[in-house]
Amino acid sequence: MATNITFINPPSRHIETSSVLGITTPPLGLAYLASTLEKDGHSVKIIDALALGIPLLSIEHEVKKDRPDIIGVTSTTPAIRDALTIVETVKNACPDVVTVMGGPHASFLPSETLRKCPQLDIVCVGEAERTIHELAQAVEDEMSFSNVGGIVYRSGNHIVEAPPQPLINDLDSLPFPARHLLPMNQYTVLGKKTTIGHVITSRGCPFNCIFCASSLLFGKKFRARSPKNVVDEIEEVVSDYNPDTLEFTDDLFTLDRKRVEAICDEMKTRGINVPWACSSRVDTISRELLTKMREGGCTFIFYGVESGSQRTLNQMRKGIRLGQIEDAVRWTKQIGIETLASFIIGWPNETMDDIKNTLNFAKRLDTDYVEFNLATPYPGTELYRLVKKERLLLTENWSEYTAGRPIIRVGECSAEELARVLLHAYMSFYLSPSFLLRNLRKGRVSLLLRAALMEMQALGKTVTPRTARIRW
């Protein structure tokens, strides 16, 4: 008899891209687990409560109606409280259900997560396709969880840690995400329903940025799908959903340049003309690769720049130089691809001069868009261990870990001063005459101003009117 599994992407007030900017995206991690289980013959349902705006009572009603054997909940750090509330609710509604939690927060703090929530039975650690396959089989066969790898679970009064799962080297062996279980017509950008074809083409990152949890979750080894397999999925997405754009949501799409070129060639050969976006590091880019990408349909690149201070970049172990950033952005703009540069401010021991250098560097780069975040030490990262050891944490209330609120004590800046700096950074970029003029020509001013003002309004809530002006 097949196992009945329900996955839940919990609603949360603490995910600012959703609550402030109205941006919701498909939870492809859950969709990958679902397609793996469907391939095994199990019955699977996904409740994307975040995208659908489904409240807790409705989730409880769905669970009582379906009576699943397993309920899996995913969570990031700022949403962990809401995710645990979901687990408590569904376990009380269906006491016999096996409750499972995955995602980065639970993966890095599995024992703590289990202790905080007696209704939670199991934490899946890291990459979970093999784990969920073994777990569903154990539940179906009414066997103990002792032979399931990659989990931390409750056994009586004890918490047991199973051996980790090996990473999946052949990503082509995974079935495509079960998008048919997702509300694909309900995802939004700035509150407006927009169809974007999100595709993951690789996992893992070999770099050593101490603030990043992704390489710890999916490993330091870069594992990539073949160009044919990637474009097979793109063809399916384009055929089934007719997206306005495609987005490669890899942490580092451009690491293997030959593979990127082959994907571009394959898309061109098959006549796929949908514009697409990706994320990149500036040291994996060349003018030749950018030209190939533009010819292949790339219209937008997200660069993790992080800082305009070489000293801070070195402390982050980012492994890039300011000159490389300037070259990559200049080439990208010359070739006609739009850019977004992401910056982190409020790094431990960062001086006000370092922060000034970052803000001035952001203006000098003159990318099409910028994103400013406050340094946030997510559990599992070296940054988290560092600031905890040096007693620089301002709070371990995970709901505050949104990258928009001060978490780290910075020598020259109070928490309120950091919040003012962040607000000033957004205002100085998005309300500048050059930005407004450039986007007026593109017919985007009203949309982008709405996004910027929504973000500034949210940031402004943490700044008192008395001190709203920034002082250098």
Q: Which helix H or strand E contains 203, and what residues bound it?
A: strand 202-203
Per-residue pLDDT at 470? 33
Q: How remote is the C-alpha of 212 from its chain's centroid? A: 11
| Whole-number pLDDT of residue 24 | 83
The CATH number of 4-161 is 3.40.50.2300
pTM of the predicted structure, to 2 decimals: 0.91
DSSP states of 332-393: HHHHT-EEEEEEEE--TT--HHHHHHHHHHHHHHT-SEEEEEE----TTSHHHHHHHHTT-B
Helix or strand (DSSP H, E) at 138: helix 129-140
Same CATH topology for 4-161 and 195-372? no
Domain boundaries along the sequence of the chain: 4-161, 195-372
In this structure, what DSSP letter does residue 163 have? P
Backbone angles phi, psi at 192, to 5 degrees: -100, 130
CATH number of 195-372, picked from 3.20.20.70, 3.40.50.720, 3.40.50.300, 1.20.140.10: 3.20.20.70
Which of helix, strand or coil describes residue 284? helix
Question: pLDDT tens track of the chain, all 472 residues?
Answer: 689 999 999 987 645 444 445 578 899 999 999 999 999 999 999 999 988 988 899 999 999 999 999 999 998 999 999 999 999 999 999 999 999 999 999 999 999 999 999 999 999 999 999 999 999 999 999 999 999 999 999 988 899 999 999 999 999 999 999 999 999 988 877 667 788 899 999 999 999 999 998 888 898 899 999 999 999 999 999 999 999 999 999 999 999 999 999 999 999 999 999 999 999 999 999 999 999 999 999 999 999 999 999 999 999 999 999 999 999 999 999 999 999 999 999 999 898 899 999 999 999 999 998 999 999 999 999 999 999 999 999 999 999 999 989 999 997 788 888 888 988 888 888 877 777 777 777 766 555 555 555 555 555 555 433 333 333 3
pLDDT at 321: 97
For helices 352-365 and 415-430, the axis angle rounded to 10 degrees is 20
State which amino acid sits at residue 86: I
Tokens of 143: 């066997």
How far apart are the C-alpha atoms of 338 and 240, rounded to whole Å?
A: 27
Q: What is the pLDDT of residue 2?
A: 81
Give me the pLDDT at residue 463, please.
45
DSSP 398: G
Q: What distance in Å separates the CA atoms of residue 435 and residue 352, rounded to the nearest whole number?
A: 25
Query: Are 345 and 375 in contact, with CB atoms under 8 Å apart?
Result: yes
Angle, vertex CA 253, rays to CA 208 and CA 213, nearest 5: 35
H or E element that contains 39: helix 28-39
Residue 450: per-residue pLDDT: 58
